[in-house]
Structure 1
Amino acid sequence: MLNSLQNHINKNLAFLKESKILIAISGGIDSVVLTHLCHKLKLNIALAHCNFNLRGNESDGDEQFVLQFAEGLDLEVFIQNFDTENYAKTNKQNIQIAARELRYNWFSDLAKQLNFDYILTAHHADDNLETFLINFIRGTGLEGLKGIPEVNGQLVRPLLPFSNETIAAYAKTNNITWRDDSSNATTKYVRNKLRHQVVPLLKEINPSLLQSFQNTLSNLSDTTDIVEDSKNAFLERAIERADAIQTIFKISEFKTLKNPKAYLFEVFNSYGFTEWNDVLSLLDAETGKQLFSKTHRLIKNREQLLLTEITSEIEESISISKTDKIVETTFGTLFFEEADAILKKQKNCIYVDVNTLDFPLTLRKWQEGDVFYPLGMTGKKKVSKYLKDEKLSILDKEQVWVLCSENELVWVVNHRADNRFKVTKNTKNILKITLE
């Protein structure tokens, strides 16, 4: 196995030979064998062990074993203890998800702080098969059927080509000891049920199951490349505009496809959407119809689909004194300067009579019920009605700010000034306000 791993690294993971590596070690056979192999190959490694404090003395025994194992190989080891149950309860997660989140967040922080190039985990071919089956059972697309990626950012899984039988044989041949996790024996969890009840039956039906599975993964990977190329070519036509706030898609491009639902899946699956009939219906829905995933929002706006990330940021109002000349905002910079006359009119610039203003001014997001007197018009108008008449999308409306003097609107910023503060023939002091 040592020679096989060395050949695999030379051919596919050569970057590991010149890298500073952190190995995630539980004390179980897989991670212990991975450490032993990497040490034999003289890679630059250190170890990281998580004590999740879920199995009492057994968890503490794993930690002591890892410390002694690292000392025997003269390797640096990092240990982190977690109150996993409390974390899971606070974040309303099951224990497995909580432990995974804690583990990978810590590994990432550790790598960043101590300049590790890569983090190695001991996932192997049987783990990959189990992941494939889990995704298949739950329902997934091509990406979910590709299994565990060998390289995913900083994460590298060099044992993916090897079976648990091969790993066990190596441990036996080299008299390697390890710790058994008693929770792996229970069939309480889906993965363990597959491991102990389903996979053995599949191997009985096909003794070459893992090799057949590897061939299937290779074929699926090739097919995924074709799908990805097709999706990227489509996106070049379909994306009308993309910025920090939203990505705008042309609905007409989806409707020209023979199977728009398939493309909707490939385009929006990574944003957490799952109800694909609802996404498909959005193409013909009324303007303003919205769909939500946990992280993103998809909105029908006339002949467009708008994709934006869901944020919990609360925009606070900004107070502007009479002496302020430059005000920084999240959407640009406001400049306040005296002017002798009104020059060319622009949407991003207004001229007001200073004597009509009550300082400090307030800059805030517009609200339902806001009313102003649009410059050049007779009478008042609700801001909501004005924005609707301007044909702004839901997202664009959410980005609109207003400049206020006391409770009166001076400017629907970057859209329309208020008639009550305009410059007249009696104006003595003109204030120019510009957004850049």
Structure 2
Amino acid sequence: MLDKFQKHIHTTFPFLLERKFYIAVSGGLDSMVLVHLFQQMKCSFGMLHCNFQLRATESDEDMKFVLAYAAQHQIPCEVQQFNTKIYAEKNKLSIQLAARELRYQWFEAQRQANHYDYILTAHHLDDTLETFLINFSRGTGLEGLTGIPQQNETIVRPLLPFSREAIWHYAQDNQLQWREDSSNASDNYLRNKIRHHLVPILKELNTSFLDSFQNTIHHLKEAQEILQDGVALRYQEIVLKQEDGTLRFDLKKLLELDHYTSYLYQWLHSYGFTAWQDIFDLVHAQSGKQVHSDAFILLKNRASLLLFSKESQHDKRHYFIEKGIEYVKEPINLTLCNVSYPSYTLAKCIFVDQDKIKYPLVIRKWEEGDVFYPKGMKGKKKLSKYFKDEKFSLYEKSTQWLLCSENQIVWVIGKRQDERFIITENTKQILQIIQQ
């Protein structure tokens, strides 16, 4: 196994040979074999151990075992104890999900604090099989059937091509010691039921089952890559990223696609949405209907779907422009410059009598009670009435920026200038303002 492992590292993860990495070590068979393999390769690494305090003294004995091994072999080792049950109750999570969150949050904090590049875990081929069967039993798309990825950004899993049996034989051949987790013998968890009862039957039916399964996973991953290429191509045709970062989905083009719901799922699942039937219904809903994830809103707006963050919708900050500033990047792009005469060749451009404005200028969202004097009209108008007359959607109102001088609106940016600040024959200094 050592020769195969070395070839695997040199072929798939050569960067590990010259980078700093931690190995997540529970003290069990898989992680102790992973540590030993990298020791044989003369690699320098650290160890991380989590004590979830779920198995009374057994958890503490695991921690002592890992610390003793690290001390004996002079390997840097960090340990952390968690009150997992309290965390799970507080965050309304299962024990497994709570432990996962705690583990990976702490791993990442240690990686950054100690300037390491990667975290290595000891997931192997049997783990991939179990994950496949769990996802399959619950119902999943193609992505859920492609197994555990070899790498997620800074998380690397070098043992994925190797079976539990091969790992066990390596440990026996090298007389390694490890700790047995008593909870692995319990059938209280779905993964354990699959491991203890279903997988042995599959292996009995086909002695080369794991090899066949590995080939299947390879083909599924290739199919997933082809799917992603097609999805990306359609995305370019249908989705437009607007200046403010909002994604606009063209419903006319979307509905021309066969299986458009599948495209929507592929494009939106990474934004945390779960109410998929509500999203599919949104396509035919009346304008103004919304579906929310924790951080994003998907809005039906006339002939489009708009995707934007909740943070952008509720940005109530004021952005100040001091005199002499020529370029503004937040919250939108503006260019300000003095000109000798107006030129009306640009769509989103106004000319202001500089003597009529007072610095600092302010960029802000609209507020209840705002009024302005629309250019070309006599008298003032409530901004809310202007929005209604111009048929602004809820989204357009919530994301519209104003340029103000003191408390007076100079420009409903990109839409309508205020009459009070326009240039006249008496204007001495002309300020040109362009929305990029």
Do 2:30 and 2:167's aligned partners in 1 also have CA atoms closer than 8 Å? yes
Return the letter of the residue paired with 1:15.
Answer: F
Return the letter of the residue paired with 1:31.
Answer: S
Residue of structure 2 equivalent to 1:10: 10
Residue of structure 1 equivalent to 2:249: 249
Deviation at 1:370, TM superposition (A): 3.4
Structure 2 distance, partners of 1:401, 1:89, is: 42
* 271-280 vs 221-230, which moves further: 271-280
Residue of structure 2 equivalent to 1:210: 210
Residue of structure 2 equivalent to 1:282: 282
* 123-132 vs 291-300, which moves further: 291-300
Report matched runs for 1:67-106 at 5 Å. Answer: 67-106=67-106
Deviation at 1:158, TM superposition (A): 1.4
Deviation at 1:130, TM superposition (A): 1.4
Map Cα deviations across residues 336-362 of structure 1 (whole Å, 9 max, x no partner).
99x89984467444536867x899876
Structure 1 distance, partners of 2:319, 2:120, is: 51
* 406-415 vs 54-63, which moves further: 406-415
Residue of structure 2 equivalent to 1:311: 311
Structure 1 distance, partners of 2:312, 2:82, is: 28
Structure 2 distance, partners of 1:315, 1:117, is: 35
Map Cα deviations across residues 93-133 of structure 1 (whole Å, 9 max, x no partner).
33322322222222223333333332210001111111112
Residue of structure 2 equivalent to 1:292: 292
Residue of structure 2 equivalent to 1:351: 352
Return the letter of the residue paired with 1:253.
Answer: K
Cα distance change of structure 1 residues 244 and 314 upon mapping to structure 2, 3 Å threshold: closer
Cα distance change of structure 1 residues 258 and 332 upon mapping to structure 2, 3 Å threshold: closer
Deviation at 1:293, TM superposition (A): 2.4
Residue of structure 2 equivalent to 1:150: 150
Residue of structure 2 equivalent to 1:56: 56
Return the letter of the residue paired with 2:21.
Answer: I
Cα distance change of structure 1 residues 422 and 217 upon mapping to structure 2, 3 Å threshold: same
Deviation at 1:432, TM superposition (A): 4.6
Deviation at 1:152, TM superposition (A): 2.1
Structure 2 distance, partners of 1:16, 1:335, is: 47
Do 1:287 and 1:301's aligned partners in 2 also have CA atoms closer than 8 Å? yes
Do 1:241 and 1:249's aligned partners in 2 also have CA atoms closer than 8 Å? no
Deviation at 1:403, TM superposition (A): 4.7
Q: Aligned to 1:377, what secondary structure does the other structure show?
A: coil
Structure 2 distance, partners of 1:234, 1:434, is: 36
Deviation at 1:147, TM superposition (A): 0.8
* 67-76 vs 197-206, which moves further: 197-206
Map Cα deviations across residues 298-353 of structure 1 (whole Å, 9 max, x no partner).
222233222223338853443869x855496732477899x899844674445368
Deviation at 1:226, TM superposition (A): 1.8
Q: Aligned to 1:44, what secondary structure does the other structure show?
A: coil
Structure 1 distance, partners of 2:146, 2:390, is: 47
TM-score (norm 2): 0.85
% identical equivalent positions: 45
Q: Aligned to 1:68, what secondary structure does the other structure show?
A: helix
* Aligned residues: CA RMSD: 3.4
Structure 2 distance, partners of 1:366, 1:158, is: 53
Report matched runs for 1:28-427 at 5 Å. Answer: 28-243=28-243, 245-311=245-311, 315-318=315-318, 326=325, 330-332=330-332, 343-344=342-343, 347-349=348-350, 351=352, 363-390=363-390, 392=392, 394-403=394-403, 409-419=409-419
Q: Aligned to 1:270, what secondary structure does the other structure show?
A: helix
Map Cα deviations across residues 170-201 of structure 1 (whole Å, 9 max, x no partner).
22222211112233333333322322333334
Structure 1 distance, partners of 2:132, 2:138, is: 10
Structure 2 distance, partners of 1:328, 1:65, is: 58
Structure 2 distance, partners of 1:280, 1:336, is: 44
Deviation at 1:397, TM superposition (A): 2.9
Cα distance change of structure 1 residues 40 and 331 upon mapping to structure 2, 3 Å threshold: same
Cα distance change of structure 1 residues 11 and 277 upon mapping to structure 2, 3 Å threshold: same
Structure 2 distance, partners of 1:223, 1:319, is: 48
Map Cα deviations across residues 403-434 of structure 1 (whole Å, 9 max, x no partner).
55776545423432334566678x89978584
Cα distance change of structure 1 residues 83 and 422 upon mapping to structure 2, 3 Å threshold: same
TM-score (norm 1): 0.85
Q: Which runs of 5+ in 1 are unaligned?
A: none
Return the letter of the residue paired with 1:179.
Answer: R
Return the letter of the residue paired with 1:351.
Answer: V
Cα distance change of structure 1 residues 61 and 365 upon mapping to structure 2, 3 Å threshold: same
Q: Aligned to 2:175, what secondary structure does the other structure show?
A: coil
Map Cα deviations across residues 13-43 of structure 1 (whole Å, 9 max, x no partner).
3333333221110111110111111111222
Equivalenced residues, count? 432
Return the letter of the residue paired with 2:279.
Answer: V
Cα distance change of structure 1 residues 58 and 429 upon mapping to structure 2, 3 Å threshold: farther
Cα distance change of structure 1 residues 58 and 289 upon mapping to structure 2, 3 Å threshold: same
